[in-house]
Amino acid sequence: MYLARVDTHEKLFLGGEWVAPAADGTIEVVSPHTQETIATVAAATAADVDRAVGAARAAFDDGPWPRLAPAERVAAIRRLGEVYAGRRKEMVETIVAELGAPVRFAKTAQVGLPTHNIGVLAGIAEAYPWEESRPGAFGRDVLLRREPVGVVAAVVPWNMPQFLTVAKVVPALLAGCTVVVKPAPEAALDALLLAEIVEQAELPAGVVSILPGGREVGAHLVASPGVDKVSFTGSSGAGRLVARACAANLTKVSLELGGKSAAIALDDADPATVAAAVSMSAMGMAGQICNGLTRVLAPADRADEFAEALAAVVSGLRVGDPADPATDVGPLVARRQQERVRGYIETGRGEGARLVTGGTELPDGIDRGWYVRPTVFADVDNTMTIAREEIFGPVFVVIPHAGDDAAVALANDSDYGLAGSVFTADVDRGLAIAARVRSGTFGVNEGYGMDPAAPFGGVKGSGYGRELGREGIDAFVDVKSITVAAAG
């Protein structure tokens, strides 16, 4: 198992320096596979947040970073990307150990995608319209300048920490902002490794701080009057609290929240194709993926066929040690998450759904770790708890539909609107379905792939604002309009 020894990290990366925290609290990082402590990390406090925001404020108000030409910031971010790429192996090992991500998934999605995305986002910044003019209505042109919004608070969850941190921090830096990152305590180790990468890339002092801590630290950060923009990823319930805190200070905020995304199988869809795409969308992190396709809407007369195909795929996945390259599904991140998912499985049984595969027992050959067997329910009604609430575990539900209109209605009958997909032999028919489903992102004949050139985000209970693409930079700029009259 990676990181078998117990590491100790006694300092925080604050204002570009490694400093002792204001108090002596610590975070114990526990392996989801062995249930043993693998590291002890200094825990940030509200006082540390205040120091970091102050450093970020000074770096923004008086430092060089916001005043660099965009091309200079792009060059610095490309340098950061080079350093990041050189430490990919360490990052993979860290994420496997602390989060239980299977090593193959860690290499590709957890670390490979962020490495790639840094370069893509830098390229987007090179073509970004930092300054442009447009014809005014009164005979003189209007000059538009896109300027950095200021100090950014980036609050990142544990499930895809590097992907989400890069999606927030890199566009903010390219825009000229300074950033305070609050990673989840479960993902403290990869956050500290990122801090080392930032230091190695020699970004100016105060531009980035990284403060692992609990919810109270995040709450203090988003409520800080020194913060100009909050970028938050987490649950819908937490997002509502963040929105209220930001409203008190009129702080700009983007919220990327939960999901209960539907995979719509039309009557000409292939069950095996749907099953493979649905499994791939969520199982890399044992179902702990916000845009995973966990609701499968299948034609009523073939619903059992789709359920059996999905069950065949997920029951054939190898569950076990995340450091083993043959592993497909690792453990859930914590005991509380395992108990939560098991509770949903029991609720599904109690409400009358038919268990096709999986359940609450540990997978065969596993006697420790926070594992849950990949689970598929059939005969699910869209009013059931397992059809409506985000389980955040390896649980799929198959819901019958009575045609295209009924499938769209079922897909939209959700508090969430993050992602979705449709599967059909007729692409035009699929595009027509995509136009009718209320979600921020959508795929036709695939699980939605997070292309860094395309904006990602949700509607309804899945939040508002967009990350990645040009829109990812838009989120961190203010637009200033300037008109000029001739002298005299």
Catalytic residues: 256, 290
Read off the tokens for 293: 């396709």
Please give the Cα distance from 56 to 203 (Å, whole number): 12
Q: Which residues contact 394 (CB under 8 A, 6 or more apart)?
A: 282, 283, 286, 287, 314, 329, 341, 358, 372, 373, 374, 375
Expressed in angstroms, the distance from the first to the final Cα of the chain is 75
Please give the Cα distance from 430 to 179 (Å, whole number): 40
- 439-454 as b/e, with b when 16 or more CB fall inside 10 Å? bbbbbbbebbebebee
Residue pair 12/51 in contact (Cβ under 8 Å)? The answer is no
Please give the Cα distance from 77 to 91 (Å, whole number): 18
Q: How far is CA 21 from the centre of its chain?
A: 27
Please give the Cα distance from 277 to 272 (Å, whole number): 9
Give the other-Cβ count within 10 Å of 128's Cβ.
Answer: 18
Read off the tokens for 413: 């009958």
Helix, strand, coil percentages (3-state) for the chain, rounded to 5, are 40, 20, 35
Angstrom CA distances, 40 to 4, 102, 116, 212, stand at 13, 22, 30, 11
